[in-house]
Amino acid sequence: MPANELTNSIRRLRFDHGEMTQQELARRAGVTRQTIIAIEAGKYSPSLPLAFRIARAFDLRVDEVFQYREPGNPEDAG
C-alpha cells in the first residue's frame, strides 16, 4: 500500500492539544521524534499498534487521526 493513501491530522491535533511538541507526542507514542516527523509529512505509514498509540495520545479514535483514501476515489477520506 503506497504511504500516500493514508493521510493524517496529527499536525492540527498537536496544535489543538496545547501545541503539543513532536517530542512530547513521540514520547507518548513510544517512538522517535523523526518517526513522528515522517508520519506527519506522509512519508511513513505507521503500523496499526502505533496508529492506536498516537490516537490514544490525543484521546481520540484512530479514524479521527488517520484517514484512508481508496485508490481511484480521491474524495473518499475516511
Partner 1 sequence: MLRQQKRAWYELTVSALAIVAVVVLGFTIRMPQALAGLGILGFYGLTPLLFRRRPAPGEVVVDERDRHIAMRAATAGFAASYVAFVLSGVGLWAYAFLCRGVEEVSVHQLVTPVWLAFLVFCVVRAATMLALYGGEVADASE
Residues in the site for partner 1, rule: CB under 8 A?
1-4, 26-27, 30-32, 34-35, 38, 42-47, 50
Q: Between residues 16 and 44, which has the closer beta carbon with respect to partner 1?
A: 44
Q: Between residues 12 and 30, which has the closer beta carbon with respect to partner 1?
A: 30
Instruction: Measure Cα distances from 72 to 5, 41, 69, 75 in Å.
Output: 10, 22, 9, 9
Task: Mark 54-75 as b/e (b = at least 16 C-beta within 10 Å).
Answer: bbebbeeeeeebbeeeeeeeee
Q: Between residues 16 and 37, which has the closer beta carbon with respect to partner 1?
A: 37
In whole angstroms, how close is the CB of 4 to partner 1 at the nearest point?
A: 7
In whole angstroms, how close is the CB of 41 to partner 1 at the nearest point?
A: 8
